[in-house]
Amino acid sequence: MDPQQEHTWPDLKQLGSDKRDLADEAMYRSLKSKLFDEAYPPVQIGRFRVVQTLGQGGMGVVYSAQDLQLGRLVAIKVIRDDRLREGAKDRARLLREAQMQAKLSHPNVVQIHEVSESDGGLFIVMELVKGATLREWLDRESRPLAAILERFVEAARGLSAAHQAGIVHRDFKLANAMVGEDGRVRIADFGLAVADQSQQETEPERTAGSASAGHTSKHAGTPTYMSPEQVRGRDCDARSDQYSFAVALTEALFRRPPPPAIERLAARTGALALPADPPAPQWLRQALTRALALDPADRFPSMAALIDVLVETPKRRKRGALAAGLVVALAGSTALGATLFTETARPECSQYEGRITATWDERKESIHAAFVATGLPYAEQSWQRTSRMLEAYAKDWADTAVSDCEARQLAAQPLERYFTQSAACLGRQREAFTTLLHELAAADSTLVASADKAAAGLSRPEQCRVSPTMQLVDGPDAPTNPRVRELLDRGNLLTISHEGRDAVTFLDQALAEIRSHADVAGEAEALLLLGRAKGRLLGDGPGAAKILSEAYDRANAADYSALKWEIWNELARVQALVFDAPGEARTCLDHAKSERHPDPQTAAAAIATAESEVLIAEGRPLDAVALRRQALATLKALCPPDHPDVMLARLSLAAALGEALQLQEAHEMHRQLLSDLQREYGREHPLTARVELNFGLDLYELEQPAAAREALEHARTALVTTYGERHLWVAKTEVALAQLDLDDDAITRAIERLDAAMATYEVLVPPTHAERITALIVLAEAHRMNGQTPGALAAYRELLDIHDADPAHSSVDLFATLANIGDALCVLGQCAEALPYFSRLIGLKSPETSSEPAMKALPLRGLGLVALAEDEPQMAVILLQRALAILEQAPLERLGLREIMIETMRALADAHTALRSKPQRARELRRRAAELESAN
Whether 116 and 141 share a structural domain:
no
C-alpha span between 692 and 729 (Å, rounded):
12
By mean pLDDT, which of 34-48, 378-392, 528-542, 584-598 is the weakest?
Answer: 34-48
CATH number, domain of 529, equals 1.25.40.10
Pair (406, 438) in one structural domain: yes
242/213 same-domain check: yes
What pLDDT, in 10s, does the model give residues 128-178?
888 888 999 998 888 888 889 989 999 999 998 888 888 888 889 998 898
Q: Is residue 882 part of a domain?
A: yes
711/692 Cα distance (integer angstroms): 6
| Residue 411's pLDDT band (cuts 50, 70, 90) | low
Is pLDDT of 56 > 60?
A: yes
pLDDT tier at 45 (50, 70, 90 boundaries)?
A: confident
Could you say which of 95, 128, 161 is where a domain stops? 128
> Residue 219 — φ and ψ, nearest 5°?
-105, 5
Query: What confidence score (pLDDT) does residue 477 get?
Result: 59
Q: Which of 415-419, 805-809, 932-936 holds the top average pLDDT?
A: 805-809
Please name the amino acid found at residue 27.
M
DSSP conformation letters of 646-691? HHHHHHHHHHHHHHTT-HHHHHHHHHHHHHHHHHHT-TTSHHHHHH
Q: Tell me the pTM.
A: 0.59
Claim to verify: residue 86 and residue 150 sit in the same structural domain = no
In angstroms, the CA 274 to CA 256 distance is 10
Which residue, 642, 220, 602, 593, is CA-closest to 392?
642
Using the predicted structure, report yes or no on whether residue 890 has a pLDDT greater than 80. no
CA angle 246, 167, 234 (to 5 degrees): 65
Judged by DSSP in three states, 73 sits in strand
pLDDT of residue 436: 86
Same domain? For 23 and 116 the reply is yes
Sign of CA dihedral 653, 656, 658, 660: negative
Q: Is the pLDDT of residue 190 over 70?
A: no
> What pLDDT does 197 receive?
31
- pLDDT tens, residue by residue, 574-625: 888 878 788 888 888 888 888 877 777 888 888 888 899 889 888 888 998 9
| Residue 88: predicted pLDDT | 63
Domain boundary among 565, 600, 633: 565
User: What's phi and psi for 186, nearest 5 deg?
Assistant: -130, 135
Q: Residue 932: its pLDDT value, please?
A: 85
Which band of pLDDT confidence, cut at 50, 70 and 90, is reported for residue 272?
confident
Higher-pLDDT residue of 401 and 416 is: 401
Model confidence band, residue 786 (pLDDT cutoffs 50, 70, 90):
very high
Cis peptide before 42 (omega within 30 of 0): no
Task: Flag whether pLDDT at 31 surpasses 50.
Answer: no
Question: Looking at residues 270-296, what average pLDDT do you find?
Answer: 84
**Domain assignment present for 413:** yes
- Whether the per-residue pLDDT at 122 is higher than 80: the answer is no
Distances (CA, A) of 415 to 467, 674, 690: 10, 50, 49
pLDDT band at 313; cut points 50, 70, 90: low
Element (H, E) at 77: strand 72-79
In tens, the pLDDT along 204-240 reads 333 223 333 333 343 356 788 899 988 888 888 899 9
Residue 901: give its domain's CATH number: 1.25.40
Rounded CA separation 654/628 (Å): 9
Q: Kindly state whether residues 207 and 240 are assigned to the same domain.
A: yes
Q: Any idea which of 21-25, 342-346, 471-475, 781-785 has the lowest mean pLDDT? A: 342-346
63: domain CATH number? Answer: 3.30.200.20
Judge if 503 and 428 occupy the same domain: no
122 and 136 share one domain: no
Query: Which comes out higher in pLDDT, residue 201 or 861?
Result: 861
Same domain, 453 and 484: no
d(CA 111, CA 184): 13
Residue 925: which domain range? 836-936
Asked if the structure places residue 114 within a domain, the reply is yes
Q: Is the pLDDT score of 415 beyond 60?
A: yes
The per-residue pLDDT for range 819-854, each reduced to its tens digit, is 899 999 999 999 989 988 988 888 675 544 444 667
Alpha-carbon span 156 to 246, nearest angstrom: 10
Angle, vertex CA 455, rays to CA 454 and CA 459, nearest 5:
100
Mean pLDDT of 858-873: 89
Q: pLDDT band for position 660 (50/70/90)?
A: confident
**Residue 786 covered by a domain:** no
* Assigned domain for 226 exists: yes
Backbone angles phi, psi at 107, to 5 degrees: -60, -20
> Which residues sit opposite 56 in a β-bridge?
61
Q: Are 70 and 89 in a shared domain?
A: yes
pLDDT tens-place string over residues 496-540:
877 778 888 888 888 888 888 888 888 998 999 998 888 888 888
Q: So what's the pLDDT on residue 347?
A: 46
Residue 315 scores a pLDDT above 60: no
Domain boundary among 436, 465, 494: 465
Q: According to the model, what pLDDT value does residue 171 have?
A: 85
- Give the 3-state secondary structure percentages of the chain, helix then strand then coil, rounded to 5: 65, 5, 30
β 177-180/131-133 pair status = antiparallel
Q: Is residue 74 predicted with pLDDT exceeding 90?
A: no
Predicted confidence (pLDDT) at residue 337 exceeds the cutoff of 80: no
361 domain residue, yes or no: yes
Q: What does the pLDDT read at residue 250? A: 93
Q: Are residues 319 and 360 in the same domain?
A: no
Contact criterion met (CB below 8 Å) for 367 and 383: yes
User: Which residues does the annotation mark as catalytic?
Assistant: 171
Q: Give dist(CA 521, CA 416) in Å, integer.
A: 24
pLDDT the model gives residue 240: 93
pLDDT-based confidence at residue 81 (cuts at 50, 70, 90) = low
Residue 412 lies in a domain: yes
Residues 116 and 147 in one domain: no
Contacts of 123 (CB under 8 A, 6+ apart): 12, 45, 46, 76, 77, 78, 79, 115, 116, 117
| Spatial distance between the Cα atoms of 902 and 920, rounded to a whole number of angstroms | 17
Q: In this structure, is residue 403 part of a structural domain?
A: yes
- pLDDT of 350 over the 80 cut: no
The domain total for the chain is 5
CATH number at residue 290: 1.10.510.10
Q: Tell me the pLDDT of the chain averaged across its residues.
A: 79
pLDDT higher than threshold 60 for residue 187: yes
Return d(Cα 359, Cα 350) in angstroms, integer.
15
